[in-house]
Amino acid sequence: MLRNLRPEKPSLLTQALLYTLAAGGAVLDRFGPRPFAAVGKLVGMASGRNRLCSAEVSPGVWFTFDVGDFYWNRLAYDGFDYEPELRKLLELFRDIPFTFLDCGANFGFWSVLVASKGLGGHRVLAVEASPRTIEGLKRNVAAYPGTVTVFGNAISEKSGESVTLFERGSHAGASLQQQWLGNERPLSGTFTVETISVDDLVGRATPPVDGPILIKLDVEGVEVAALKGAGRTLSGDSLVIFEEYGEDRECAVAAFVLSDLNVEVFFMSDEGKLERIHTVDQVRRLKRHARRGYNFLATREGTSFHSMLTRTLTSAQSPS
């Protein structure tokens, strides 16, 4: 039940909390994410803060979290698979020599996995706006010097603007929008941060970015603005993974991508099934849970990523 774990300061209480998470996952995970998440919250309340633990999230790849952090402490249960469709997608693209832009990197879960040899050892530009969260990000990517570069900025349409980051409850609710879908918890802090566009992020990187670019865009309600600031990057050999929030029945991000960007859109299910997306209605039907984020892919015809996706679709549709 327990994942391979390394508590920073082992104690009987820490061990008991981790076993509670593992047992809760084994019993409740079959009923969906919400009951298991409730166990994570209860453990967080009992743990308090500053009880760090590292989990082996892939062979030889360690990710450090606070046992009191209900967003990440579920990693103690070895059956908890965070965004399984993204891992399958990144395995599919493993041999494409891309640079990974982790926009809204949080504590760097995907940054460390993409930088690891298991997923290809790719160069990573990790962008995180929250001064609180960025310390955890730096701690996690410290094992990849020269491979991962951290930027303390907020992704937006334009660079160099001073904006307010609103944090609600925890790191998972930080947004440039004071009110947005899913952001219902009490305000826990505000920070002044400087914006950077995707195009400028690529342009300012040292050494210069060369070759295909894969962008993961998880910027809590500012996706459309971020995409508007990525025009030059998206016109090249690139793919963007953008998030659609389950409770947004207007599907604002997907509607913008489908109508304003010259790209093709795809969706990969948790089980790894890939399909093309042509309409907003398709997106709406796929979003079955209001409290979940759904990842969609957008890339131009002729890119390295489009070729791989097309071959995968063709292979899946061919008779066995």
Q: What is the pLDDT of residue 320?
A: 54
Which of 76, 96, 116 marks a domain boundary?
A: 76
Number of domains comprising the chain: 2
Q: What is the pTM of this model?
A: 0.94
- CA count, 13 A, side-chain hemisphere, 231: 7
Q: Are 292 and 246 in contact (CB under 8 A)?
A: yes
Are residues 59 and 203 located together in one domain of the fold? no
Are residues 52 and 92 located together in one domain of the fold? no
Burial 241-262 (b: 16+ CB within 10 A, else e): bbbbbbebeebbbbbebbeebe
Are residues 175 and 216 located together in one domain of the fold? yes
Which of 27, 43, 76 marks a domain boundary?
A: 76
Query: Helix/strand/coil (H, E, C) string of the chain?
Result: CECCEEECCCCHHHHHHHHHHHHHHHHHHHHCHHHHHHHHHHHHHHHCCCCEEEEEEECCEEEEEECCCCCCHHHHECCCCCCHHHHHHHHHCCCCCCEEEEECCCCCHHHHHHHCHHHCCCEEEEECCCHHHHHHHHHHHCCCCCCEEEECCEECCCCCCEEEEEEECEEEEEECCCCCCCCCCCEEEEEEEEEECHHHHHHHCCCCCCCCEEEEECCCCCHHHHHHCCHHHHCCCEEEEEEEECCCCCCHHHHHHHHHCCCEEEEECCCCCEEEECCHHHHHHHCCCCCCEEEEEEECCCCHHHHHHHHHHHHHHCCC
Are residues 165 and 240 located together in one domain of the fold? yes
Are residues 134 and 270 located together in one domain of the fold? yes
Q: How confident is the model at residue 135 (pLDDT cuts 50, 70, 90)?
A: very high
Are residues 247 and 312 located together in one domain of the fold? yes
- Answer yes or no: is pLDDT of 180 > 70: no
Q: Are 71 and 172 in contact (CB under 8 A)?
A: yes
Are residues 135 and 265 located together in one domain of the fold? yes
CATH number at residue 305: 3.40.50.150
How far apart are alpha carbons 36 and 42 in whole angstroms?
10
Q: What is the pLDDT of residue 221?
A: 81
Are residues 243 and 272 located together in one domain of the fold? yes
Residue predicted with more confidence, 1 or 215: 215
Are residues 111 and 216 located together in one domain of the fold? yes
Are residues 127 and 28 located together in one domain of the fold? no
Residue 267 belongs to domain spanning = 84-317
In total, the chain counts a number of residues equal to 320
Are residues 165 and 309 located together in one domain of the fold? yes
Residue with tokens 């995907």: 110
Which tokens is 163 given?
């904006």
Which tokens is 218 given?
């998880």
Residue type, 262: N
Q: How confident is the model at residue 28 (pLDDT cuts 50, 70, 90)?
A: confident
- Answer yes or no: is pLDDT of 224 > 60: yes
Residue type, 208: P
Which of 22, 43, 76 marks a domain boundary?
A: 76
Are residues 90 and 69 located together in one domain of the fold? no
Going edge to edge, which strands form the sheet with 99-103? Answer: 148-151, 123-127, 99-103, 213-217, 238-245, 293-299, 264-268, 274-277
Q: How confident is the model at residue 177 (pLDDT cuts 50, 70, 90)?
A: confident
pLDDT tens-digit profile of 65-119? 999 998 899 999 999 999 999 999 999 999 999 999 999 999 999 999 999 999 9
